[in-house]
């Protein structure tokens, strides 16, 4: 037929290398004792059927990344070094099911991401804004304010 098919895309090695790097970071073991010292529960909050709470362990951060298919697992080192704080937004009725991941740096809400890095819904954004205001946090200019 004259049509040539390649078994693999040309960029397979690049994708492999990037994936392997991410996997190595994911597999890195962190001391849970050190992580425990980085937790700041003052940001925990309940409102309108939602919970916002701090990540309690490095494994929980890794699981969040796996559930929502985003890169929050790569932030464990930043949490341990005191650069970031990671929180989870959950529905009160399903506290184990990931909804949104929130990153705070220097008292600024830098990122809010859902499944596959999706932005929060309008309802979720309003709740995040209310929470941030009550917790005396600033919102990154990248986040819409409702």
Write down the pTM of the prediction: 0.77
Structure tokens of 100?
Answer: 């949104």
pLDDT in tens, 54-91: 999 988 999 999 999 999 988 988 998 899 999 999 99
Amino acid 6: pLDDT: 61
pLDDT score recorded for residue 86: 97
Backbone φ and ψ for 111, nearest 5 degrees, come out as -140, 145
Domain residue extents for the chain = 31-139
CB-based contacts of 81, cutoff 8 Å, min separation 6:
none
pLDDT tens digit sequence for 20-39 = 776 666 555 667 788 888 88
Dist. CA 99–CA 51, nearest whole Å: 10
Say how far apart CA 114 and CA 102 lie, in whole Å.
9
Cα–Cα distance between 70 and 26 in angstroms, integer?
Answer: 12
């Amino acid at each position: 037929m004259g049509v040539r098919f390649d078994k693999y895309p040309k960029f397979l090695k690049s994708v492999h290398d990037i994936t392997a790097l991410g996997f190595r970071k994911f597999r890195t073991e962190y001391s849970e004792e050190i992580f425990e010292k980085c937790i700041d529960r003052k940001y925990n909050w309940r409102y309108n059927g939602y919970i916002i709470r701090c990540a309690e362990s490095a494994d929980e951060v890794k699981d969040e990344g796996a559930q929502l298919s985003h890169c929050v697992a790569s932030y464990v080192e930043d949490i341990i070094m005191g650069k970031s704080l990671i929180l989870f937004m959950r529905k009160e009725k399903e506290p184990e099911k990931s909804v949104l991941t929130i990153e705070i740096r220097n008292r600024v809400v830098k990122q809010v991401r859902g499944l596959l890095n999706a932005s929060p819904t309008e309802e979720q954004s309003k709740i995040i804004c209310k929470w941030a205001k009550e917790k005396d946090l600033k919102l990154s200019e990248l986040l819409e304010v409702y």
